[in-house]
Every structure is written in structure tokens, then in C-alpha cells.
Structure 1
Amino acid sequence: MSIPASNGFPFMLSRNAFGRLIHTPADGGPAEEVVPVRAFPIDTESEDISLVGPTGHEVAWISRLDELPPQARDLVRDELARREFMPEILRIVSVDSYVTPTAWTVETSRGEARLALKSEQDIRRISQSKLLISDGHGIHFLIRDLDKLDRASRRMLDRFL
């Protein structure tokens, strides 16, 4: 699917035969494969996105996704969803020990998961209400809002904070 440059939109987005995202400048410059990368992946999901070429250099900048034509917006969102994996923790089901290393069973936005917490330092505070938890396998889990966790989950988590 090709999204033509329109209304002053400075580039065209399409997918090649291999399903990769292709950027073509409106001025007719050479097309190249790009990957969308969020500048601030946790705080702003639909703002500040860079289209990065195969050499790692920025090819285009998207200030806000809603400024894109709808089809281009869908292409960028689909591509971001393919490359990003950060389940959101909705509830802490159980913790096998309050001394690290420990194993947690959590309910996430992608289903139930078990994560291995090597130390308390694997829990990082992003803001007053957001936490990023890195498990022993390198997967990052997000707690978007501490206040929205149920009481039992919050009590278990407080032992590690």
C-alpha cells in the first residue's frame, strides 16, 4: 500500500514485497527502507517518532502521528507494534519471595506472565506513578499507573520499592 505525499506531506510511505516500510521523499529522491523509533517510548506514544534508515541515520521526523494521513498513520503504528514489546502489568498475582532474586507471576496486557527479578534495582521509577521492571530475560514490563493497581498488588510491590 502506498501513501502518497499530499497536503504538503513531505514523503510517501509504502511496504515493499518483503513487508518492510519504505520511505520515498516527495521530491522524488531515492526510496529507502525505514524503521520507526519513538524518541520517548514510555511517556509519549504518539509523538516524536523518527524514521531511521538502514545506516541508523534519521530520514524523517514525525512530530505527531495524528498529523499523518490515516493510512500512513496505520502503517507507522503497525510497524511500531511489530518491533516493540513491553507488556503492561495490570496486577501482581504472586511473588515467591520478598528477598531477591525472586519470581513474580503477573497479569499483563498480553496475558499472564512469570518474570524473574534479580534485584530491587531491576525496578526503575520513570515518574511518580510509572515503573519499568526488567526481568532476568531482558523483557521490560511497564506499570503505567501505580494508583490503578489493586491493593494486594500494591502491597507486594511496596516491599521492593
Structure 2
Amino acid sequence: MKQAAQTTMHPQDFRLSRDPYGRLVLGIAGRVYDTIVPVRSFPISAPDEGIALVGADGSELVWIDSLADLPEDIRRLVEDELASREFMPEIRRIRHASSFATPSRWQVETDRGEAVLLLKAEEDIRRLSGSTLLIADAHGVQYLVRDVAALDKASRRMLDHFL
């Protein structure tokens, strides 16, 4: 079903549930939309604000200003769906870099465990803010360094060779 984009809705104005196949289903004003996908507007700087519920055709059906505004059951559904779709490990420590020139193989500790990534070029490290970096490895996985200053001294020193 196609419908024009909705404006911000109050949680009592819509229903969200899962179908027997585990897909999100949205109910608005007697209409049912299946295969709903939540999309963050600002996944790094404001991950809990500005979330759109998008239909199978790509149209925005519901705008959520803040996850905190949602009832617990709906918020849990949205958070679970986002977590299943998003994979962006956060680097906590750089254990080793094979060289200080690219390509370089890095051994890192992340919030999801240890990982090895291949940095193809210095351009694969993008500065998002004064202290936040996004690192793309050769396999397309995006790694986040939320706060460079929070890394240990050895990790910061290795990273400085590439910045």
C-alpha cells in the first residue's frame, strides 16, 4: 500500500508489532503496512532521535522524534530491529598495525570483541567531528572511534600515523 509521508505521530496514533515471519507491521488509522524498516537520521551523533518508520516502497510512514517518547514495547521493537540491521563495531583499542603506510592490517579490540581489519588507504579514515572517526575496512565494515582522546596512549600514537 502506498501513502504519502506522515508527519510526526504520537505513539497512541499507531501500532507496531511483528508478523509470524518476524517482520515489523505498522497499523495506522485502520490501515496495515508490512515489512516496516526503522531508519536513523543521525546514527552516530543522535542515535535515539529522528527515526523514520519506512514502508516497503521506501516511503516514510511515521516520524519518531525520540525513542524515549515511545512506550516500552514499541521502543523495544524498534531498537531490536535497528540492532539486527546495523553493525558498526566501536574500536576500544588498536593492538597492532602491520605498518604505518597503507595498505595496513590492524588488530583491534572493539565493543563486539577482537577484529582484524585491512586499511586500504588513509582516505578510509574519515573524521566525523573533532574527536570521532569512522574507519572503513577493505570488506566494507565501518568501525567507529567515538572519542580518540579516550583511547589508550599506544592506540592514539598508532592512529596519529594515519591522520
TM-score normalised by structure 1 residue count? 0.93
Matches within 5 A, 1:1-161: 9-25=12-28, 27-161=29-163
- The superposition leaves residues 85-130 of structure 1 with CA deviations (integer Å, 9 ceiling, x where unpaired) of 0000000000000010010000000000000000000000000010
**What residue ranges of structure 2 are gaps of 5+ in the alignment?**
1-9
- The superposition leaves residues 31-66 of structure 1 with CA deviations (integer Å, 9 ceiling, x where unpaired) of 322000101111111100011110111111111001
C-alpha RMSD of matched pairs (Å): 1.0
SS at match of 1:79: helix
TM-score normalised by structure 2 residue count? 0.92
**What residue ranges of structure 1 are gaps of 5+ in the alignment?**
1-6
Tell me how far apart the structure 1 counterparts of residues 57 and 64 of structure 2 sit (CA, whole Å).
Answer: 19
Tell me how far apart the structure 1 counterparts of residues 78 and 62 of structure 2 sit (CA, whole Å).
Answer: 12
- The superposition leaves residues 14-34 of structure 1 with CA deviations (integer Å, 9 ceiling, x where unpaired) of 000000111110x21233220
Tell me how far apart the structure 2 counterparts of residues 40 and 12 of structure 1 sit (CA, whole Å).
Answer: 24
Tell me how far apart the structure 2 counterparts of residues 56 and 38 of structure 1 sit (CA, whole Å).
Answer: 14
